[in-house]
Amino acid sequence: MNTCMNEVKSEYLKEVIEKIKNKNSFEPEFIQAAEEVLLSLEPVIAANEEEYRDSALLERLIEPERIISFRVPWVDDNGKVQVNRGYRVQFNASIGPYKGGLRFHPTVNQSIMKFLGFEQIFKNALTGLPIGGGKGGSDFDPKGKSDLEVMKFCQSFMNELQKHIGQDTDVPAGDIGVGAREIGYLFGQFRKVRNTYEAGVLTGKGLEYGGSLARKEATGYGLMYFMREMLNANNLSIEGKRVIISGSGNVAIYACEKASQMGAKVIAMSDSNGCIYDENGINLDYIKEIKEVKRGRIKEYLNYVPSAKYMENDYGMPKIYTIPADIVLPCATQNDINLDTAKYLVNNGVIAIGEGANMPCSNEAVQYFIQNNVLLAPGKAANAGGVATSALEMSQNSLRDSWDFDTVDSRLEKIMINIFKQCQAASKTYNLGINYISAANISAFLKISNAMKAQGVI
Ligand code: NDP
Ligand code: 2IT
């Protein structure tokens, strides 16, 4: 297991990592994501170093096929013109059309778009479905905006994005700040500007116009299917475990639902302001009401359950991580868990981490968990259920058909079981033990690199 640069034996790998750092020095999240993957590929690269070097495969893999960045002007409710920046990173289409979500959050920048697009290539390869990797979004902040403002922003964003996407080219979906409401406005504008009903151009659509049953639930449910497989393979089970979930958005809510269905007890959830702690088990109906209907703050849970406790975040570790739990599911954002938080969680007896979010643990935190025998379900594998079900939505759109909930959910479950099996197989071949992160990276890399090699120097 490679934990740091000075343990890397492959000269080619070292050179590529140095190049990434020099060429992208203002993109820390992208460097972090790329370095994590590249370090884990050592056994594969070392076995065939010349071939990889001669074809510059890694240099091609880390350079997006295309980055689109554009101005998004819109008029707010006070008649004032606002300007945001929009992005679409079309990273790698060797396995299928670019596929990946759109994130609307004030922190969005090119580094975050590139890290998400890069991770998406690997995640999508693991699903076994024909989808390449991409990501997009904007530094637009939907919080506190009226529906009308969100609609005007989405329309302006799509006026430009529509030039670059299509059901066989690039298929965006949701991510942080982009849910059914935004996808609806984006789809409406695409349809109007292009004068075509191309349902498969976006996924996460409403059920009335080409959306798939179980897409809303898919990422959270998929995370728990993967978690169950990982625990069972290590002679553990979900039943009766105490679970904490950071975030209270789409992924967090449906991870909570499935965890409870599987017999676990979810005792805490959070948003960016703080967390609620309910020793009797979170009542998810109230969370759905607060977050999906009212777009409110998690603190409002206390209006429904006065006996629960609320802890406001300060500049230190997010307060949710101070609550002892067996299973921790970071489902909010990147780098939520750093090394200090990882040490705190291990000290509190955590047995498993499930990355519902993309890159929620820093690379140091990941290594610390593995060294301390904490089972870690890596995001690229464990949260792939969302995009996998997006691909099932695309299939239904192509067939002009729609499948019932159980059909989609059981395909999702099979896909997640299969992703875990791929991780297990790679772990066995490369002697990685419980390092499922390296296993997932290697397994995805072999598929992507084979597709790239077969298609020549592109
Ligand atoms: P949502 O917008 O529905 O929810 C995001 C949640 O995370 C909110 O509770 C939000 O709190 C919290 N959050 C966001 N940013 C921050 C931050 N900077 N600091 C603290 N809390 C934050 O997004 P999703 O649930 O869709 O996405 C959550 C994660 O899962 C992301 O990492 C995303 O990339 C990943 N993911 C999503 C998939 C999907 O299908 N939606 C698929 C695979 C991965 P607040 O409201 O206070 O901002
Ligand atoms: O990070 C992700 O995988 C997503 N946000 C979902 C992408 C998708 O195309 O459904």
Mean pLDDT of 200-220: 98
**Ligand 1 and 386: CB distance under 6 A:** yes
Ligand positioned closest to the Cα atom of 223: 1
Report the separation in Å between the CA atom of 274 and the middle of ligand 2, taken as the mean of its atom positions.
25
Identical fold, 66-197 and 216-382: yes
Beta pairing partners, 310: 276
**Ligand 1 and 313: CB distance under 6 A:** no
Nearest to 173 by CA among 226, 106, 218: 218
Residue nearest to ligand 1 atom 32, measured at CA: 357
Q: Is 135 a catalytic residue?
A: yes
Q: Which architecture characterizes domain 66-197 according to CATH?
A: 3-Layer(aba) Sandwich (3.40)
Report the separation in Å between the CA atom of 80 and the middle of ligand 1, taken as the mean of its atom positions.
29
Residue type, 72: V
HSE, side-chain direction, 13 A CA sphere, residue 253? 16
Q: Does pTM surpass 0.75?
A: yes
Res 8: pLDDT: 86
Q: Which atom of ligand 1 is nearest to the CA of 273?
A: 47
Beta pairing partners, 84: 72
Confidence category of residue 339, pLDDT binned at 50, 70, 90: very high
Res 9: pLDDT: 86
Ligand positioned closest to the Cα atom of 121: 2
Asked if residue 3 has pLDDT above 60, the reply is no
Residue type, 449: S
**Ligand 2 and 129: CB distance under 6 A:** no
What angle do helix axes 110-127 and 385-399 make, rounded to 10 degrees?
A: 70
Q: Average per-residue pLDDT in the chain?
A: 97
**Ligand 1 and 407: CB distance under 6 A:** no
Instruction: Determine what percent of the chain falls in helix, strand and coil, rounding each to the nearest 5.
Output: 50, 15, 35
Asked if residue 4 has pLDDT above 80, the reply is no
Torsion of CA 44, 49, 53, 58, to 10 degrees: 20
Asked if residue 2 has pLDDT above 80, the reply is no
Q: How far apart are CA 360 and CA 332, in angstroms?
A: 8
Confidence category of residue 42, pLDDT binned at 50, 70, 90: very high
Ligand positioned closest to the Cα atom of 360: 1
By the 8 A CB rule, do 275 and 298 touch?
A: yes
For 380-412, how does the pLDDT look when each residue is reduced to its tens digit (9 = 90+)?
999 999 999 999 999 999 999 999 999 999 999
Report the separation in Å between the CA atom of 178 and the middle of ligand 1, taken as the mean of its atom positions.
9
Res 333: pLDDT: 98
Q: How far apart are CA 287 and CA 293, in angstroms?
A: 9
Q: Which of 99, 114, 123, 135 is catalytic?
A: 135
For 278-315, how does the pLDDT look when each residue is reduced to its tens digit (9 = 90+)?
999 999 999 999 999 999 999 999 999 999 999 999 99
Output the DSSP codes for 60-111: HHTS-SEEEEEEEEEE-TTS-EEEEEEEEEEEE-SSSSEEEEEEE-TT--HH
Output the DSSP codes for 259-276: HHHTT-EEEEEE-SSEEE
By the 8 A CB rule, do 37 and 31 touch?
A: no
**Ligand 1 and 249: CB distance under 6 A:** yes
> 216-382, what's its fold?
Rossmann fold (3.40.50)
Mean pLDDT of 14-21: 97
Mean pLDDT of 188-214: 98
**Ligand 2 and 127: CB distance under 6 A:** no
Report the separation in Å between the CA atom of 19 and the middle of ligand 1, taken as the mean of its atom positions.
31
Mean pLDDT of 430-442: 98
Res 5: pLDDT: 67
Q: Under 8 Å CB-to-CB from 161, ≥6 apart: which residues?
A: 70, 86, 88, 136, 172, 186
**Structure tokens belonging to residue 402:** 């729609």
Mean pLDDT of 157-163: 98
For 220-232, how does the pLDDT look when each residue is reduced to its tens digit (9 = 90+)?
999 999 999 999 9
Q: How far apart are CA 140 and CA 49, in angstroms?
A: 43
Nearest to 386 by CA among 30, 69, 29, 123: 123
Q: How far apart are CA 241 and CA 243, in angstroms?
A: 6
Q: Which atom of ligand 2 is nearest to the CA of 100?
A: 9
For 416-435, how does the pLDDT look when each residue is reduced to its tens digit (9 = 90+)?
999 999 999 999 999 999 99
Residue nearest to ligand 1 atom 27, measured at CA: 176
Alpha helices in 136-206 (DSSP H): 147-161, 180-194
Res 216: pLDDT: 98
Q: What secondary structure letter does DSSP report for 289?
A: I
Asked if residue 35 has pLDDT above 90, the reply is yes
Nearest to 329 by CA among 428, 435, 230: 230
Q: What percent of the chain has pLDDT over 70?
A: 99
Q: What is the CA radius of gyration of the chain?
A: 21
Beta pairing partners, 242: 265
Residue ranges per domain, the chain? 5-62, 66-197, 216-382
Q: What percent of the chain has pLDDT over 90?
A: 98
Res 167: pLDDT: 98
Asked if residue 113 has pLDDT above 70, the reply is yes
Q: Which atom of ligand 2 is nearest to the CA of 123?
A: 3
Report the separation in Å between the CA atom of 333 and the middle of ligand 1, taken as the mean of its atom positions.
5
Q: What secondary structure letter does DSSP report for 337?
A: B
